[in-house]
Structures are given as structure tokens and as C-alpha cells.
Amino acid sequence: MTESDRLKGSALHLLHRAGQCAGDIFQTEMASGDLTPRQFAVLVAVSQNEGLSQTSLVRKTGIDRSTLADIVRRMLRKNLLQRRRTKDDARAYSVKLTDEGWAALRTYEPTVNRVDETVLSALPEDSRQRFLEELALIVAALSSQEQRPTQSN
């Protein structure tokens, strides 16, 4: 088996490359915008869960805690988010969209939809929904494994 064939059979490599390609398409589409795919994911997650704690936001988006904290800080500076201490835990923050955050979500949603359509257009139309469902299964299965302690041999 050649090196090229080995990469074509590697889920890790192919998922990474697909993510890179999708990211490149996103950046091209967002040329005039100042938003990253992860920032858009945060906008969507917060819009669907107003007052969500940053810890819960980590679970909703899959973005690691330190990266999410940095993203939230940048989005606070852009006035896309507002953050307040939670009533239940004075150490935790709840996050909400500002008016500018809602406007950014409305502005960029069509662009993100175009990116999704471009990425999915590589597949036959009748298999796109199944592809998304199977990706979601992979994410769900692997996310639950992340929370289990690693066993050493």
C-alpha cells in the first residue's frame, strides 16, 4: 500500500483535510467579515441558550475551555457578547448575545449556509443528510469517550 493510499484510508487524516477545506471556503466567503467558524458556533450556541454558562458552552460547542475563554474575551471586545456572574455560582459567568451579536448572527448566517452548501455539494444530493447524521454520530460517540478516563495497557 502506498503512502497516498494509507492517507486515503485514514479517517483522522480525511476529517482533518475536510475541516481544512471547509475552513478555507469559510475564510474566502467571509473575506469582508471578521468572524471565525468557532465564533459563529458560539453565536449560534448562545442564541439558542441565552444565559448559558461558559462551562455549558464548552459542552455545547466542543471547544476546549481555554480556547473558549479566549474566544469569549475576543467576542466581548467586539461587543458581540455580554457576560455576567451567574446567580447560582459567583465564580461562573453566563453569556448572552448583545444587539450587535444578534445582528452578526443574522448577517453571517446566509454566508455560513452557503459554505455548508458548498461543502455538501461534493456529495450526491440524496446522501447529504445521511452524511451529516453519520458525522453527528461520530462526534457524539467520540465526545462521550473524551469524558472517560484513558486506560493504559
Read off the pLDDT of residues 43-82 as tens digits, 9 standing for 90 and up.
Answer: 999 999 888 888 889 989 999 999 999 999 999 999 999 9
Residue with cell 462551562: 55
Contacts 24+ apart (CB under 8 A), 145-152: none
Residue with cell 452557503: 114
Task: List domains and CATH numbers for the chain.
Answer: 3-146 (1.10.10.10)
> Which helix (H) or strand (E) segment is 140 a member of?
helix 128-146
Residue 152, pLDDT above cutoff 50: no
Q: What values do phi and psi take at 124, rounded to 5? A: -60, 140
Read off the pLDDT of residues 93-150 as tens digits, 9 standing for 90 and up.
Answer: 789 999 999 999 999 999 999 999 999 999 999 999 999 999 999 999 998 765 555 4
- Which pTM was predicted? 0.82
Residue 62 φ/ψ region, left for φ over 0, alpha for ψ in the -120 to 50 degree band, beta for the rest? left
pLDDT at 22: 94
